[in-house]
Amino acid sequence: MSELARDRTEQRGGRPERYGLADLKPLGEALRRHWLLAIGAAALVIPTLYGVASQSWITEQGAHGPIVLATALWLFARRWTEVRALARPGDTRIALAGFLIVAPIYVVARIINVIEVEGFMMYALLLVAAYWLIGWRPMRAMWFPIIYMLFIFPPPDTVVAMVTQPLKIAISQAAINLLYALGYPIAGSGVMIIIGQYQLLIAAACAGLNSLISLSAIGLFYIYIRHNANWRYAMLLMLAIVPVAVMANFVRVLALIMITHYLGDEAAQGFLHTFSGITMFLFSVLGIFAVDAAASPLRRRLARRGRSA
Active site residues: 206, 252
Give the torsion through C-alpha atoms of 15, 21, 24, 28, to 10 deg. Answer: -160
Q: Which residue from 140, 121, 256, 142 is spatially nearest to 195, judged by alpha carbons?
A: 256
Report H helices in 182-208. 204-207
Q: Pairing mode, if any, of strands 192-195 and 186-189?
A: antiparallel
Rg (CA), the chain: 23
End-to-end CA distance of the chain: 17
d(CA 280, CA 252): 6
Q: Which residue from 309, 200, 215, 202 is spatially nearest to 263, judged by alpha carbons?
A: 200
Task: Quickly list DSSP for 133-162.
Answer: HH-HHHHHHTHHHHHHGGGGSPPPHHHHHH
Give the torsion through C-alpha atoms of 181, 287, 52, 204, to 10 deg. Answer: -10
Task: Quickly list DSSP for 112-138.
Answer: HT-HHHHHHHHHHHHHHHHHHHH-HHH
Give the torsion through C-alpha atoms of 98, 4, 70, 161, to 10 deg. Answer: 50
